[in-house]
Chains A and B, each alone.
Chain A
Amino acid sequence: MITGGVLLATSPWFSAFSEQQHTRGEKARIGIIGPGSRGQHLMGFLAANPKVEIVAVCDVFQPSIDAALAIAPAATAYTDYRKLLDDKAVDAVVITTPLYLHHRMALDAFDAGKHVFCEKAIAYSLEETHAIYQRYQQSGKVFFVGQQRLFDPRYIHAIEMVHSGEFGVVSGIRAFWHRNNDWRRPVPDTATDEQINWRLYSAYSKGIMTELACHQLQIGTWAMREIPDKVMGHGAITFWKEKREVYDNVSCIYQFDNGVKLNFDSVLSNKFYGLEEQILCNKGTIEPEKSKYYYEEIPPAPAFLQMLNDVENALFGSMPFAGTSWVPETANVNEGYYLLDRKPEGDGTSLMLEAFAEAVITRKQPPLIAEEGYYATQLCLLGHQAMVEERSLVFPDEFKLDYLNHKAPESL
């Protein structure tokens, strides 16, 4: 079981729940900007939270508004997000619009005095992401980014074990996310392909990096407690060539100061290995997505079996007809151990939204959560830039914050 102390050691953002008892009966009044598929998914959790009232929804696509109103019938519907921001009944907004719209909407939301939950990636460019973070700091409002792994018990336990030194020194991190589909969704008559399949157009999205890598790169910095300073990579469109402007095949290498690498790769035409983040340490390996860990040194098979094995090998080892051994050879296979003693409930999204609601009610920003989201976005954008420019890039000083191994330029 994960205790409160452990949670705060590895995940200080859980302090959002510290005043949970005192906020009973209070409500966070939330407006949803862009309740498409992801927005509706989040709304499902918000609607189930007694401390949340979804008071407004906004979208330019009527089917999305209809679906959102089905989840929150009492909400006021808007087609212009600025009208929603003018609504005094709204305390906070959840922005789940296409990536290229985040920047303007987040800035306007802070200016309107709203707390902001923005889906990852935060923004389309390094500059925009930095501008949003700065505006958040000036605003004194709450700012959450949709990095739900920060609230996932599997990941929290995994990182706690890494930080405790249980597995020795982190020697490398391999993250991959493979799928076998083109991400294309059917386009109704009332919409354009760009509206529905915006993830495939480079003017609106940076594809794999902003949609998938963002989550996994954050695991790397969380485990290492350090921001990698260099990145190189290569991306290409290798399989899904029709009406696609973003890569369907990418590979990036991020390098930390001590030389440790964080590798990310994604192929959208093979799903055999699915997704995982493998944290490789000198004494063990952790695979949080599988909820498993493995020690490098595995205990040998019982002596009795070893002896039988040796006898069998001595007797039959050289016989050409000898078949499969009857001694269980699997005894030495590293099966690993489970991170949790129970089946994980969800992927952290529900807890993340509960934490956001608590933070909105208490008006207290939990530590580090905005910074983790900020760097996850900046790293995926930098990786994308390295692939486009086909060169190794160093994290630009002007976008550094006072966080972990980084120092903001103004504090130097």
Chain B
Amino acid sequence: MKEIRITPKQQKRELRTFLICLLIAFISNVYAIIKYQSPATELYSSLHYVLLFSMFLYVAWALMRIIFRGIKKLIKK
């Protein structure tokens, strides 16, 4: 069985990717609060939605990366 190793460099990259997703989700919430003239308290009361959305973005981005890698491998063959 092949041993999968995640290097510290990869870990850092994944963490950075997730933080970017979180930032995008947070900024989206700020934008939404301004656009829909909602109370500023939604900055923290909607944090669970923000967190869920950032996870969704991260998973979506991971899927895209897997697909890109697959295509790349196919082309190289």
Contact = CB atoms under 8 A, between A and B. Distances in A.
Interface of A: 300, 302-308
Interface residues of B, number: 14
B42 A302 contact: yes
Contacts of B50: 304
Given A306-B32, A307-B28, A307-B32, A300 B49 contact: no
Interface in B21-50: 28-29, 31-33, 35-36, 38, 42, 45-46, 49-50
Contacts of A304: 28-29, 32-33, 42, 46, 49-50, 53
A312 to B, nearest CB: 13
A25 B31 CA distance: 69
Contacts of B32: 303-304, 306-307
15 contacts: A303-B32, A303-B35, A303-B38, A303-B46, A304-B29, A304-B46, A304-B49, A304-B50, A304-B53, A305-B49, A306-B32, A306-B38, A307-B32, A307-B36, A308-B53
A300 B42 CA distance: 12
Contacts of A303: 29, 32-33, 35-36, 38, 42, 46
B30 to A, nearest CB: 9
Contacts of B49: 302, 304-305
A306 B32 CA distance: 8
A325 to B, nearest CB: 15
A302 B32 CA distance: 9
B41 to A, nearest CB: 10
Contacts of A308: 53
A306 B35 CA distance: 10
A140 to B, nearest CB: 60
